[in-house]
A = this chain, B = another copy of it.
C-alpha cells in the first residue's frame, strides 16, 4: 500500500476549503452522515474530543458556582409563544411533536430549540423570595432546529450543547453574570483549552438573541477567512421573567420581577477546532482536548517483532499515567500509512520505536505542529512530553492569534470595505452609525454582517462606513458561518 495514498484523498485546503472540511471530518473519523435529514452521528473519535471539551468547560462552569440540572426536551406550544420576540425568532426552526403513540396530542410540543421557555416556567415555581436568588443552573442537552442547509458540526438539525440559565435579584447582578460567563468562562475555555483566539463584544440588535436585551458574543476567524460565532451570553433583562412570571419579594418585602441571563456553546466548536488548526495533512488537536495526545507506532521487523512490541506496550503503560496514549499495533497497515492516519487525526505527538531505538534506549518523536523528527532519551521522555504538550498548546494558539491579528483590517471607505470582503475576508473594523438599515445594505452588498461591537473605549469619531454619518461606534464585520 502506498504510504501517501491516505492523505491524497482529501481536497486542498487552500483551493477548496469547504470540501477539505468535509473530507477531514470523514477521514479523521469524527462524524458521519445519517439517513435522517440534517442529522449527523458523532463517531467515537469525535465524541471523545467532545467529552474532553465538555470536561474542560464543565469544570469552569462549576468553579463559578453553577450547578447542572436537566429539563424536559418538549416545550408545549402555549409556553413557547409567551415571549413574543422569542417565538418569532424560533418558530420557523421548530420540530413539532403532534402524536404520542396512536393518539393525536391536544397541544403540539416543540422539540426544544433552546430552553428559556421551559426553564422560565419552572423558575417561576421555584423563586419566591430574594433568598431564593440567584439561581445558577447549567444544562448539557441536545437541541433541534430545523435547518435548511446543514454541515457537520457547524449547522445540524440536532446538535449538542450546554445552556446556562440564571436568575438574579437586580439588573447589575445579571449583567455581571453575563460578562463573567463571557470573559471568565467562555473566553478562557475557547482560548486556553481549544487554542482559538476570539474577539468579544456586544451584538448589534439585528444579531442579538430573540428576546434578549443584549447579547455578548465570541467570534473566531476560520482558516478560510470566514467568521464563526463561538459562543454567546445573553442579558435577558426582565423580558423572560415577565413572560414567564418569575417574581420574588425583595429585602423590603416588595414584589419584583427577576433579572435573567442565558448562555450557550455547542458542538459547533468542534468545527472551529478543525477550521482554525487544520492543515493540508488534516487535523491538529490542541493537547488539552485531544482524544489521543501521544500515539506509539512500533517499527516491526520479523526478527525483533516480539521484543519491540513488548517495549511499545511498556511505554504505553508508563505514559498512560500522564497522557492519553494509544498504541497502534495493527498488523494490516504499514508504519507510513499509520503516520498519515494519525496526522490526519491530529494527534499532537507521534512516537516511533524500532529495534535500533531500543538498543539506544531512545524513541523517535514527531510533533504534529512541526513535523520534524527528534530522538528523545527514554529517561527524558515524560518530562519532554510534558513540556511539548504545553508548547504545542501555546504554539497552536499563537499561530492562530497571529493570523487573527493579520486579518483585522480597518476600512475607512466602503470601496475599501468591499475590496477586503471580495479578496481577503477576515474581520473589517469600521465605524457604524448604529442604523440597522446600513447594516442590512452592507449585508446585501457583501454578505458581511456585524459580528460584534468593539469593546474598547473609543474617544474619536469617524464616519459610518455605509452612510457617512458621524459616529464613535467601531464594529467588526465579517462573513459568518
Contact = CB atoms under 8 A, between A and B. Distances in A.
A51 B68 contact: yes
Contacts of A99: 95-96, 98, 108
Nearest to A98: B98
Contact of A39 (B36, B68, B74): B74
B69 A44 contact: yes
B98 A69 contact: no
A47 B70 contact: yes
A44 B67 contact: yes
Interface string A30-66: 0010111001111110111011000000000000000
Interface in A136-181: 137, 141-142, 144, 146, 157-158, 160
A69 B43 contact: yes
A122 B101 CA distance: 25
Kindly report how many copies of this chain are found in the complex they form together: 2
A71 B34 contact: yes
A310 to B, nearest CB: 21
Interface in A169-220: none
A158 B39 CA distance: 20
Interface of chain A, main secondary structure: mixed
B100 A97 contact: no
A309 interface: no
B97 A35 contact: no
A157 B72 CA distance: 9
Interface residues of A, number: 56
A143 to B, nearest CB: 10
A295 interface: no
A256 interface: no
A27 to B, nearest CB: 14
A73 B39 contact: yes
Contacts of A157: 74, 100
Given A68-B51, A98-B98, A160-B70, A76 B36 contact: yes
Contact of A142 (B73, B95, B121): B73
A34 B101 contact: no
Nearest to A58: B51
Interface string A115-130: 0001001100110000
A10 interface: no
Contacts of A75: 36
Task: Tell which of A32, A71, A126, A332 has the most Cβ of chain B within 10 Å.
Answer: A71
Contacts of A73: 39, 111, 142, 144, 158
B98 A92 contact: no
A419 to B, nearest CB: 37
Given A48-B67, A144-B73, A34 B118 contact: yes
26 contacts: A34-B71, A35-B76, A35-B79, A36-B72, A36-B75, A36-B118, A39-B73, A40-B72, A41-B122, A42-B70, A44-B69, A47-B68, A48-B67, A73-B142, A73-B144, A74-B157, A74-B158, A92-B101, A92-B102, A93-B101, A94-B100, A95-B99, A95-B101, A97-B98, A100-B146, A100-B157
Please list the 4 inter-chain residue pairs (A to B) with the smallest Cβ-Cβ separation, ordered nearest first: A44-B67, A39-B72, A100-B146, A96-B99
